[in-house]
Each structure stands twice: as C-alpha cells, then as structure tokens.
Structure 1
Amino acid sequence: MQTSKQDKQWQIREMYRMYTFAIVCIVVPSGLRFLVSFAEETQWIHRAWTLQEVVAPPSVAVLFSWNHGDGEALARLLGETYYGRIEVVTRGRSAMAGLGNVLTLCAGGCFEFTPDDADTAVSPLLVEAALFGQVQSHADAGALTVDNHIAFPHITALGFAIDRNLDTEEMRDFCIWQCALVRTSSRPVDMIFSIMGILGVILDPKEFADDDRLGATIALAREILRQGRSANWLAMHITIPPCPQLSTFPTLPRTSVAGRAMYDLPSGGEQTLVLADAVYPNDIGLFPPLKGSMDGSGYLSFHARAFMVVTAPEAMTLPGNSPYDNPVCPTQLRAMDGSKWTIMSDDVGISMDYEHSASPLSLSQEPRSFAVILGWYNDMPAETNGDNIRAMLITEHTNGLYHVRSYFVLSHEAIQWASTRTVQHFCVGGPE
C-alpha cells in the first residue's frame, strides 16, 4: 500500500485514529514469523510506530512463547509487590498477558511464576524477563533475584503512558515524550509523526522533509501550546545535553530503522540514549503546569517562578554528592552537568524589564542565569520524600533571550521555599 506517497501521507495522519477503533491490540514483540520467550530481548519497545499501537486501543495484550501453563506472576520493585496473570493460548507453546502486567514484570528483569496446578510445597519458578531489555548481570552471570530496582526506566515510562488511571493529561503526555525520545525509525521526522496523534495534534506530512525532525518538533510543540496545554516535554531527560537549536528539548538523537537511539557526547564519540529515571510530573497545586507560546524558531515564552543564580567560586563544596547545600532553604546548587551555582537574593532578579533594569553584566561579569522551577516530579513508586522538585537552568545569550544549560533537582523539603519564588517572564530557545 505504501508505494503511493499520497496514500502513505494519509495513513500517517489517520493511523492513531484507526487504532482507537480496535477492541484489543495484540503485541508480538518478535514479529509475526516466530514467538520469543520472556528471556529473549527484542527491539519492539525501541521502534517509533509501536507506541501509538499500544496507547490508542482500550486493551492491549502481549503474545509470547511459553510452556509453563496458566498461573500467577509476581514481581517486586523497590519494596512494592505486583501481581499479574499469564493465560495459555496454545498449551506447551504460547501464552498471553496484559501489556501493563508484562511491562511491570520486565521492569526489574525477572519475576516469580506459580502455575495454577502447582503443589503448594513447590517453590515458584524464577523467570528472566528480558523482552524489552536485558539486565547485563543476568546475561553475564545468570544470577536472578526477584527483589529488584527499576532496571529499565523506559519500560516504566511506557507503563505510565498506557495507564488510564493517571490523574492528569500532563502526566501521560510527559511519559509519551520520554518513550518517544528513546525510540527509532528510518526517517527522523517519523519520531514526531508517530506521536502527534497521541498528543492530540495532526500535522501535514507534506510540509516536512524526511530528516526535518527539528521542524516537526517545533510545529508539534507550537500546536500543543496553541491549544492551551502545557509544555509537557520540559525536563523529560535532565542528564543529557539540551538540543543546541531547541534547548527546551534534550538533544534529538540519531535514529535508524534497526538500531537504538544514539546521541553525540560533548567530549566526542557517541552513546546510546537511555532514560535516567522513572518519573512523571505531579501538579500538587503549588506548581501548575507551565504554559505559554512558541514562535517559529522554537523560542518558548512563558511565566514561571524562578530565582537568579551566578557561577559559584571554584572552592565551593557541597556535602557528599548532594545537589544542594540545604534541603529546606538552599543557597548553593550543583546542576546535572556538574556546574556549581550560588543563589542570589530573590529581589536581585525580580525585574525582567530591560528598559528599566540594570545591564546583565552590572551584577557580575557573566550573562544572567536563572533557575526556573518546573514543578514536582514523582518517582516510581510515587515517592514524596526525595529530590522531587526540578528546575531548569537558563542563561541569557542575547538581550532578553535565554537557552537551557542544564537542570537542578531540589529536595521535597524545599517546597515551601520554592513556592514563594517570584513569578517572572522568560523567552527560552536556541541558542544556535
């Protein structure tokens, strides 16, 4: 069917809507030629177009090779216990389970399985779960343990994305952006076309070249904001460098039809892009979702709580590996890129009217920089006693225009302090 360019463009525009009509979507991670077991890693979760296949339909199941019969699966992640059901399709050959359950079972790398007909005196079977990513220690030594940390945040992000019980649209959309960031396709522009329907936007594929991921990203972000929705992509990945041309986004990775998303390291070389943590934004009333507008060059204009920062002296130290000096009322911060900063008094940076305020260099011999508070982010599971507050480090590169340099994390104990910072206006994008 895709020999017709016009037909292909129609399919791209309508594909998400078509999937919403499905009663159930059956995922075959290895493709239709054969079934793989839980222990075999596949590239299904890294392919761009598979995302809308599982977000749009009301029900999604996974079909896999299986010879252990019907039964109950159990996984433990960070002290929490999760249960799932595995149902045989063809005895001795295959079985199915709900996608949400399979993602949970795979997030830690292994799970326990108890067949329905098992003797109560028999210990559960320990099963390696590598369908969507293999824990390297399991591959190297064959050592499995059921009480695990989250080995694969991208699996957890997809679990959030398909969860129909999330409290807000911002939670889901943030996870969609995370899922898309680590996926690949033969055409860079498809990284946007494959999620636009999920995010409630339909772009015209004729308007973008195959390699114009940047232009399509700006177009999608502009339309999301025009609809009155939030900039739900901010801080989706806080440990890789920002995109040089569109700094409110992380570096846009290189994609390929049969590989992993890769990005260039500042020091040279390249690295596989993986999510650093499993988080989602949570609007708890003190930090409403950041909204605004974006121009055709990708500059995001918005109002948000912020505080001015300046480069800290080289001799400044922070306790241990802490990203701040004081969890309740910080005065010194370490950004995710390793740079260290001193927080200025709130009244120093309060005026953003350049016609009546001091020159950026009147306070220090460096461009003005601010930490823009983005909000509260829950970990998985929903921990509220960690470094739950995220802020975006921005620096002025021309009069009134800023770019993202890195990010800060603040303690949950700083919520009262952060919620009283002054609301200011910024225009952030570029810088190239």
Structure 2
Amino acid sequence: MKRLGFASVPEQPHYWLADARAQACLIDVELTSKPDFEGLVRFDLEVKDGRIASIAPLGTAPAGAIDLEGGLIWPGFVDVHTHLDKGHIWPRSPNPDGSFRGAAGMTSADRSARWNAEDVRARMEFGLQCAYAQGTVAVRTHIDSHAPQGEISWPVFRALREAWAGRIDVQAASLMPMDFFAQPQGLRLADIVAESGGALGAVTRLSGGGHDALPVEFHGLLELLFRLAMERGLDLDLHVDESGDLGATALVEIAHMATRLGFKGRIQCGHCCSLAVQTDDYIAATMRVVADAGISVVSLPMCNMYLQERTPGRTPRWRGVTLLHELKGAGIEVSIASDNCRDPFYAYGDHDMLEVMTQATRIAHLDHPFGDWPLAFSAVPAEVMGLEGRGRLKAGAPADLVLLSARFMSEMLARNQADRIVLRNGKPIGTSLPDYRTLDQFVGHGA
C-alpha cells in the first residue's frame, strides 16, 4: 500500500475510492451532485483489473472503500509540447543573458559539440522518469534535427518510445528552421519522420533569424513544408511567432496555406506570442481563418514569460503569452504544455504538469471560473496526439490517475503537491524523482 496522508491505495485488482473530487468537465458521466463554486463534483470511483470500472454518486462505495475525504483525482496528464533532447544541459551551457538569441546560440553550440546518442538518450530518459513519476501519461517531444543530428537523435527517440511503451506514450516532431527543408537534408528528414511515425515540424523562421517580419522566401518554404507532409501523410507541429514583434505573422499565413492546399492532417501551432500585440481587427481576422483551418494552438506560458521582452535593467511590460481565452472562445483547440526544462530556453522546470497547470492558471487567469480549462492539460492535447480515451475520467479507461490530498483548487494551487499518489493501471507507482547527480557525467554540476 501507499499512503496519501489519510488514504492507502492497495495493490489489488478491485477496490473503491470513496469521496473524491474532480473537475466536472473531466468526468464522462452525469452525476447527481452539482459542481461547486470551483467547478468540482464529488463522487465515488471503482477500480477493477487496472481500469476505471465505474464512476458513481457519492455514497455508492461499499464499506471498506478507501476514503479520500474529498481529495482531488486527475486523469493522467498529457504534455503535448516538450524538448526532451535539449533538457538539462543548463549546467554545461547556461544562457548568458536569458534572451531568445542567447538560448539559440548556446543550444546550437552545445548540440554541435556534445549531442551524441549516449548523451541525448541519458537526458531524454531523465526527463521521462520525471514526467512518469509526477503523473504524465503521454509526451510529444520536438527533436532538433539539423544534419547530422537527425540521424543521431531520431533512432534514440524510437528506442525510448519502445522502452517506455506501456508507461508513457512518446511521440516526436522534427525541429529545424524552415530554410533547411529546401536543402537535401530536408527531404531526408521528412523521410526519417515518416519512417519513425512522427509529425513534421519546423520553426517558422530562417536559420540564424528571429520571429519577426516574414522573409520573402517564407511562402515558398511554407508550401514546401506542407507538401512534404502531404506526400507522406504527416501531421504538422510548428513553432510559430515566438516573439512580440508585430511583423511576426506566420500564424495567419499557415492557416491560409492549409486552406488553399486542402491539408487533411492535423496542424498544431506552438507559442503564437505575437498575436497578443496585434490590433483587435487583425486578431479577429486571424482567429477566423485559424478556426476555419482546424488548427490547434499550444501555449507554453512558463517558457514564454522567461524569454519574451527580456531586456537588462528593464521590467517586462507583457507576459509573452498568446491569447488563450480569445482563441478558445473562437472555437480553436487550445492546449497548455511544459516546453523546455533546464536548458538555455528555460532555466527551470521539472516535467511536472501540475506545476504547469499551477503557473498557467496564475499567469493567464484560467480561474474564476475554472470552467473547462482543465481539459487543456489532458483531453485536448490527447486529442491532438490521437490518443483516444486519454485525459478524462470515464468507465473503461485505464486507471492511470493522480490522487491529491488537496480537496479544492485553491488548496492544490497554493501548495506543492509532493505527496501525490500516481496510479498506473490502478496500482501505485514510485514517485521519487531521479537525482540530478545521475546526469553529472553528461552535464557536470555547474561547479
């Protein structure tokens, strides 16, 4: 058994969790209890043979059930935008000034000098261990794929996906500047992605450039990227407009291109920061075409706040976060994810989606009411990743759950939930995090 303050979860095939709370939007059945002021409902949950057998009204559980005393239950989290291959290089390659250009330069130098298969695998494995212990069930990572790195890192991804099967669903998308796809390496990379079952991804800027005014080559390169994906039946997952520059308008052009070419795959656009500084008319027009094209947007609030508008001696005037409320209100699928961890693009992070939820709620005002924002960390990214049945609490789904002693959102968001219980197939797993010292042989310790 593992204790959660007051509750013990048995390692047996059949048991009940009594008096649980969860956000109503996460529950796939109608309960007699009504949501409270934080959107929470109370219920009992039955686990049998590794799956959720039933979700029943409060008081249904038989005598001897495990009493959660109103503690929160979450479905396993889905982290749809990460960079596991960059992770944890901060001790050996810190960002000199915290800027986007500083991050890009340090990462490029580190990649060229040190990213062999052993190094990449060790750091990616560390990130997956952290995510698993903290309740994440699915991850999509972007893979830096500049030649020759693509030939090194994609085999590592495939090996890790196999090794972690049954614990975390691991997906990948390529990552390199758009202009590289016009070179022979671009064609080769598209084939590697297709052979690996990945998504075709790029940053919508040129090599060495920033997310600012679109270059004259932009539309031709964007069409090339689309056609490479279409020829191979691949989805697209793009880094878009990651700046506060008014000239960064790739998002609307991606939507127009998708519509013009009749693109049938999924398109996810990450960041989209510059949308927040555009005029109201431009924002409305952009959101219309993005919604019509069926594009989903993923926001990375922690990383964006860290990088955007960083100027020495000057307090940032904006949060660097895209228009989450407006996009969702326009009918656009919105996810929220972790992005970078302990690398030049973000010095912090721990692959913990509860931290992401806590910070995003505070940063982007995803509260009062909480509404269905919890879906942005679970069911919506699961749908983007094509993972049916993930991200909700429903009968028949795997009992991959996160149990908290916190009873209310206010309690959960106020305190670190280090005492959480993580269930996989109904059984508690170890939640001890890997020691940073295990990476010292690869990244040093900063001393």
Question: Smaller-chain TM-score range?
Answer: under 0.3
Higher relative contact order (CA 8 A, sep 6+): 2
So what's the TM-score if we normalise by structure 1?
0.26
Greater Rg, structure 1 or structure 2?
Answer: 1
| Greater helix share, structure number | 2
| Greater strand share, structure number | 1
So what's the TM-score if we normalise by structure 2?
0.25
